[in-house]
Structures are given as C-alpha cells and as structure tokens.
Amino acid sequence: MSTVFLEGKMCQTCGVVKEVTEFRKDDIHCKECRKEKDREKRLSKKEKDKRTAFATLVSGIRGNRIEVPHTSEVAAEMMRLYGGLSQFCTEWKQDIDAMRVERPGSKSVIDSKMAIVKLIVESTNQRDSAPDLAGMTDDELESELTGIIALFLSKNPKLIKDMIEEPEAPNAGSKRRAKKQDSPSNGGKKP
C-alpha cells in the first residue's frame, strides 16, 4: 500500500512524493515507474518467448534428442585437464583442507564432504549396475554389442554413409584405357 500525504502520494518504486493524478487508480507505482516496469516485463516475456521458440526449433530439427556429452565423457575430460585422477583428487583435497582451515564447519566444507559421500554412493551404484560380461548369455552379449555399435555409429554418421553408398566399379577406367590403346594415333595396334 502506498503512503498518501496531504500534498500527494509516494511511489513505492522511486520513493518520490507525487500528485495523486500521477498514479493510476489503486496503483502503488507512479505512472512513469509503472510504464518502466511494464516495459521490463514485456522485454522479459519477449526474451523468454525467443528462448522457447529456439528450443522448439532445435527439438524439431534434432527430434527430442539433444546431443550432449555423457557425464562419463565430461568426467574423463576433467581428469585429463587436471593431469589425471590422482592430480585431481590431490587438488580437491587441498582445496577442502584450505577451506577447513579458513572456515571450519562452514557450509562450503560440509557441502564438499557431502559431495564426496554422494560420489562414493554413485560410483558404487554404477559399478553394481555394470554388466558382468563373463556371466552374460550369447544373446545378452549380442544385445550389449549391438548397443555399443549403435552408439558408435550415432557418433560417427559418416561411417554409415560410407557403408550405404555403392562403391565405384573397380575397373571403371579400364575400358577408357583399352579404347585409347586401340586409337589411330598408335596405328590401331595394341602396345
């Protein structure tokens, strides 16, 4: 609710006391501030509409499947950039130790430790869900291999194109060479 003074009403946005005529009925913002707020709201909606339209376009082109790296690919790249798993873990531990010294018991320290616990739980779950190849039947192995091949080919579409395209006949140029040898320029004789 806006404050009404004898000489006018105070705008809740700019804080300026203005005449009541400078406000819309039952509005806590002066007309000038309301105009700016409405403009910002329109721009925000327009920007949101653009993002939605772009997302719709992308999903229409790609289907509902968006190509993003698998978490294991991101993790592998991070390990490479850090100089390997050992170097990454060493730096991570040093960062946690430094936080513990600077801000013992802080949310950052607790969150870091919780991240390690979650990592341990998640890695255990993934290890348990990995297929045991030795215990798989031939059909299960074939299915697993088919999935791996499909994933590989989806990442390398040129291979599919090369497999589908008809190769050029192996001796396509040999007929032209034979005709050239029989031409009158060499007296019609074969060499």
In contact, 51 and 60? CB cutoff 8 Å: no
Distance of alpha carbon 97 from its chain centroid, rounded? 32
Rounded to two decimals, what is the model's pTM? Answer: 0.31
- Candidates 27, 30, 35, 34; CA nearest to 17 is 30
For residue 156 the two structure tokens come to 């390398």
Instruction: Name the burial class of residue 33, with classes exposed (0-12), middle (13-18) and buried (19+) by CB atoms within 10 angstroms of its CB.
Output: buried
Q: Where do we find the tokens 């309301």?
A: 34
pLDDT in tens, the chain (191 residues): 555 556 789 999 998 999 889 999 889 999 999 999 999 999 888 888 888 877 777 666 666 555 667 777 788 888 888 888 788 888 888 888 888 898 888 888 888 888 888 887 777 776 656 666 667 777 777 777 777 777 777 776 776 666 666 555 555 554 544 454 554 555 555 54
How far is residue 37 from each of residues 29, 42, 125, 172, measured CA to CA in Å? 9, 9, 50, 73
Give me the residue spans of the domains in the chain. Answer: 4-62, 71-130+140-164
Q: Please tell me whether residue 164 adopts helix, strand or coil conformation.
A: helix
Q: What's the pLDDT at 31?
A: 93
Provide the CA 24 distance to its chain's centre, in angstroms: 46
Q: What is the DSSP string of 90-150?
A: HHHHHHHHHHHHHSTT-HHHHHHHHHHHHHHHHHHHHHHHS--GGG--HHHHHHHHHHHHH
Residue 47 corresponds to which amino acid?
Answer: E
Cα 37 to Cα 183: distance, rounded to the nearest angstrom: 87
